[in-house]
Amino acid sequence: MTEKHIVLEDIDPVILYGINNVHLQMIKALFPRLRIVARGNVMKILGDEEQMCAFEENIEALRKHVLKFNSLKEEDIIDIVKGTRSKDEIPEGVIVYSMSGRPIKPRTENQKKLVEAFDNNDMIFAVGPAGTGKTYLSIALAVKALKEKTIKKIVLSRPAVEAGEKLGFLPGDMKDKIDPYLQPLYDALEDMLPQAKLQEMMEKHVIQIAPLAFMRGRTLSDAIVILDEAQNTTCAQIRMFLTRMGWNTKMIITGDMTQIDLPREQKSGLKEALNILSGIEGIEIVELNRKDIVRHKLVTRIVNAYEKYDKETKQ
C-alpha cells in the first residue's frame, strides 16, 4: 500500500471540501479503493498506485476549478471526475470570479478598453468619475495575473491623506492610521480571494498595501502596481511613483479629476502626468465617463447633478 500527500496550493480548502465536508465525502465515494484523510490544505492518500495517480489528476483538476471560479458544486465534482465536462475554460471576457461565484468582467465599452490597454501596455492611466469600476477592474486584473503566476506580487497604494500624507496627529500606530485610507483596496481583494489566503499572501508580502510615501527608494519588479486616487498626488509624488517601475512590471494609475482634495495652490500630479506622458509608446490613457458607472443608479444622477453645478458656477 502506497501513501502520498497532496498539498492544495493557492485555494481555500473549505471550498473544495464543502460545508460539513459534503464535497469531501462525495470525492471519497468516487474513489472507494482509497483511504483519504484531509487536514487543512493537506490530503493524505493511501491505496494502490494506479488509483492514486487517477485521484491526483482529478484533485488537481478540482483545485484548478476552485482557483479560477472560487466555487465548487456537486455536479462540477461528478463532471470533472467522470470526464463528461471540462470546467477549465473561463468564458470570454471574464477576468476572475468573486468569492460568491459572480463573474467579474468589463461591462461597458470603456471598461473593455481598460482591459485591452492592460493587455497591450505596461503603464495604464484610468481616469473617470466615481463608480466606473477603475479600481475594482484593475485589482481583478492583478489578481488574475497572480493566480496565473505571470507576476510574483501585487502592490497597491494610495495617498494616505488628501495632500501630503500628514499622519502624525492621528491616533494609534501606523497601521491604525493608514488602514482607513486603504480600506477600499482591502474590500476589493476580499471580494476576490479567500480571507485566509489573502491574509497569508499579505503576511508573506505577496500582496502589499501601503501609502504612497512608503514607495520611495523601492524598485518594483515582477509585479502589478496600482496607484489609486492619483488625483491627490503632488507632482513630485507621482513622479517618484512612476519611476519605481522594474522588470516584468505593469502599473495602473487611477484617478478622478473632479475629486481633487489638494490645496488650491497645489497642482495635481495626475493632471501633470497625463499632459507629459500622453502619446508615449507603452503608456495608454483610458478615459471613463458617467455612462460607465456601475454602482447604484443614484450615483449616475449625483455625478450628473454635480457636473451641471460645476459648469454653472464656472460661468
Question: Which grid coordinates belong to 287?
Answer: 478615459
pLDDT of residue 272: 95
Task: Say whether pTM exceeds 0.85.
Answer: no
> 96-314: CATH homologous superfamily?
P-loop containing nucleotide triphosphate hydrolases (3.40.50.300)
CA separation (Å) from 252 to 81, 111, 132, 315? 40, 13, 15, 35
Least Cα distance to 112 among 92, 85, 83 occurs for 92
Q: How many CA atoms lie within 13 A of 298 on its CB side?
A: 0
Distance CA 138, CA 133 (A): 8
pLDDT of residue 172: 54
pLDDT of residue 271: 94
By three-state DSSP, how is residue 195 classified? Answer: helix
- Identify the segments of the chain with pLDDT beneath 50: 162-165, 169-170
pLDDT of residue 287: 95
pLDDT digits 0-9 by tens, 9-35: 888 899 999 989 999 999 999 998 899
pLDDT digits 0-9 by tens, 237-284: 999 999 999 999 999 999 999 888 888 888 999 999 999 999 999 999
- Listed by start position, the domains of the chain span 2-82, 96-314
pLDDT of residue 62: 92
CB 290, CB 303: distance < 8 Å? yes
CB neighbour list of residue 218: distance below 8 Å, 6 or more residues apart:
244
pLDDT of residue 241: 94
CATH architecture of the domain 2-82 equals 2-Layer Sandwich (3.30)
CA separation (Å) from 98 to 46, 69, 136, 181, 249? 34, 8, 11, 23, 24
CB 240, CB 216: distance < 8 Å? yes
Q: Helix crossing, 269-277 with 235-242: angle to 10°?
A: 50
Distance CA 302, CA 308 (A): 10
Distance CA 176, CA 273 (A): 31
